Amino acid sequence: MEAGIPPRTTAVAAARATPEGVVDGGVGKEAGGRQGGRHPVGLRPRQAGAESAAANYSVALGSAEMFDKERRQEIVTAVYTPDAAAARQADLDKAYSSTEFLANIGLDKNGQAPSGQTFVSRVIPVGTKATASNASDASVEVWYTSLFGLSGEGSTNPVTESWYTTTYQLKWVSNDWKVTDFQQKDGPVPVGRDQKASTADDMTKAVEEYGGFTYAR
């Protein structure tokens, strides 16, 4: 799943966010984060803060809530600079409301999973690397794995794992790091172990019982 673009499609530009609020100090002492409603904010204008912002925003831009119009607008406003958010919002709405795209990933026209199935879209950052950073601008690579698909009996798009690295361009705006642009590439991909895939019921149970992270560092 590409952070910022609906998975399994290359025809649209997009973005993706965390389903729950951030707790005080959740982004880490060194990053200097504070509670900001449903999104991590208040990260300090230095490299550690930029890396924390990029990791947290990867989690945000990879959630199933990007398929809900109201939440998507909140997410984009929180994560992107005002100019970038304004430029992307219309394309995002068009991309995530495309009936063809939704059908391809097994959702109905309202972005809902079939009865008895659960839509899974999560990003789990593994590490970050700042390739450039100063008090006002930063470029940060985030290496992550993603889970995407439908769990439950009868799913024709089962939950699969993928690996990507996304480079975020960040700008310090109104006392927060915000995204201005990004580039995504495949990998690095670890060698897989010979593990038996879980049943549809076990996967659904795991998704329901283990909530996704609301911040990464």
Domains annotated for the chain, with CATH where assigned, are 47-115+126-144+162-188 (3.10.450)
pLDDT at res. 207: 72
pLDDT at res. 30: 39
Angle CA 56–89–137, to nearest 5: 45
pLDDT at res. 193: 79
Angle CA 137–139–141, to nearest 5: 155
Burial code (b: 16+ CB inside 10 Å, e: under 16) for 126-141 equals eebebeebeeeebbbb
Residue 79: Cβ-neighbour burial (10 angstroms; 0-12, 13-18, 19+)? buried
Q: Residue 96 belongs to what H/E stretch?
A: helix 82-96
CA-to-CA distance for 217 and 214, rounded, in angstroms? Answer: 10
pLDDT at res. 210: 66
Pick from 58, 57, 73, 89: nearest CA to 176:
57
Q: What is the pTM of this model?
A: 0.76
Pick from 18, 106, 2, 12: nearest CA to 68:
18
pLDDT at res. 149: 94
CA-to-CA distance for 131 and 60, rounded, in angstroms? Answer: 21
- Residue numbers in the chain where pLDDT is lower than 70: 1-45, 209-217
The residue type of 58 is S
Angle CA 48–39–216, to nearest 5: 45
